[in-house]
Structure 1
Amino acid sequence: MNRQEAVYRRVLRREKHSARTGPAVVLAMVLVALLVAVIALSVGRHVDPGLSETVTDRLAGPSSGADRRAATVAGALAVILGLSAVTAAVLPGRLPRRSRNTDRLALLVDDGVLADAVAAAVAARCGIEPRQVSATVGRRRTTVRLTPTSGVAVDGDAATDAAGAALGAVGFSTVPKLHVARRGVLS
């Protein structure tokens, strides 16, 4: 791999993933707040020896059954929020984009643009209005929803071929899946 390909690869990867700065900052702030609380309790214990007993009594647990249930629910929510914060801060965020590079250029395309191209190709191939076709492009599958004109049959194989050809023409191949509405629209 030459230097230009390495640059293309790095730039395309960066553009396909969202920044995780926000969740990482929130997680860091929560950890700093916990650290400050621990330091404050440690200093308070040295200043007031009775504080240690008070904190121990409070942390010993609730006395009634309702208090225990409330503490269990609060603890479960804290664990869920904590795990989701850590997950959001650490895992990469993927954006709905696709990339492709050749020797001379790098191409980054939003999935919405590909879906619009697929919908236009299917509408042109089937001879229906573009507003009667919608498409979504996912990671592994392209879904095309087609609403035919009332009384006019639609060739499903031609629509699927058009969707596959539209994606193949730009070098992104996924498996197209066609959904034809049972009821048509009036022209």
Structure 2
Amino acid sequence: MQGDRAASSSPAHIRPAGAGDLDAVAAIFAHYVADTVATFEETPPTPSDWRGRLDDLTDRRLPFLVGEVEGQVVGYAYAGPWRPKPAYRHTVEDSIYLAPGWTGRGLGRALLGALLEECEKADVRQVVAVIADTGDPTSAGLHRAFGFSDVGRLKEVGRKHGRWIDTLLLQRDVTG
């Protein structure tokens, strides 16, 4: 069935995430936790954990979006607080994840574009992307295509699956 969904040519519908989407969100992210170094999480959050994150972001009036094709959630993106100190309240970190089989179809581009639009409405000034440097340029390239600038590299700050990983820091001003 996964292959059938991946072969679909239907455009993704981008919309705000709801409680009914969180099982799919948890499943998508669990793949990245278990099988990749794209996230430094080592234990997949449960749907209940995701509910807490959705509630927190909603309370902060920050966007949490899903990409849906033919009724199936195939990706998500959200903007979370960059740091907990109050002075950082106008800066967020973006997160974008796609279900296996859904990369290379424009879904990441659609999610990031919609997320940036929603960040502008949410009184966000700066969006920071923290990208694990896995050797795959896709995520950094997507962000650069949306006007993000490279602002730094943190060397060997994460260790997962037996390897040290750098992170790339990219940033974009969304105030205009």
TM-score (norm: length of structure 2): 0.27
TM-score (norm: length of structure 1): 0.26
More helix by share: 1
More strand by share: 2
Rg larger in structure: 1
